[in-house]
Amino acid sequence: MFKYKQVIVVREDLEMSPGKLAAQVAHGAVASAERTRKNQPEWFKEWLNEGQKKVVVVVKNEEEIRDLHDKTRRLGVPHEIIQDAGLTELPPGTVTVLAIGPTPENVVDKITKKLLLL
């Protein structure tokens, strides 16, 4: 049973190729894990030792990702918003991903439990 997980939220309204999508999810996962390691080292260590559970979910658009971002900030949960550099498929600054945690599962579930898996 896992006590910690990381959730990566992806916008489904962006038509990203599979490779682009994978890269954006990876950017979010690494950046948010690093933020957690710095700000909540005990969460990071436990998550690492448990096997680094990750879940990827979707939202419809940027408005929904921003709403989740606001909720995440209010709860004080480590996270990262990923904005594309604009070198390939998307305009510069396009918000693609919100990565949350790793954090205790019961905390992140308050933010993302109702979202559908990618």
If pLDDT is split at 50, 70 and 90, which confidence band does 99 have? very high
Domain enclosing residue 34, as ranges = 4-117
Question: How many domains does one find in the chain?
Answer: 1
pLDDT, residue 83, reads 97
Q: What is the CATH number of the domain that holds 107?
A: 3.40.1490.10
Mean pLDDT on 59-76:
97
3-state secondary structure of 46: helix
pLDDT 10s digits, 71-90: 999 999 999 999 999 999 99
pLDDT, residue 1, reads 82
pLDDT 10s digits, 6-51: 999 999 999 999 999 999 999 999 999 999 999 999 999 999 999 9
User: Does pLDDT of 61 surpass 90?
Assistant: yes
Closest CA to 118 of 3, 2, 11, 4: 11
What are the backbone dihedrals phi and psi of residue 112, each rounded to the nearest 5 degrees, phi first?
-125, 0
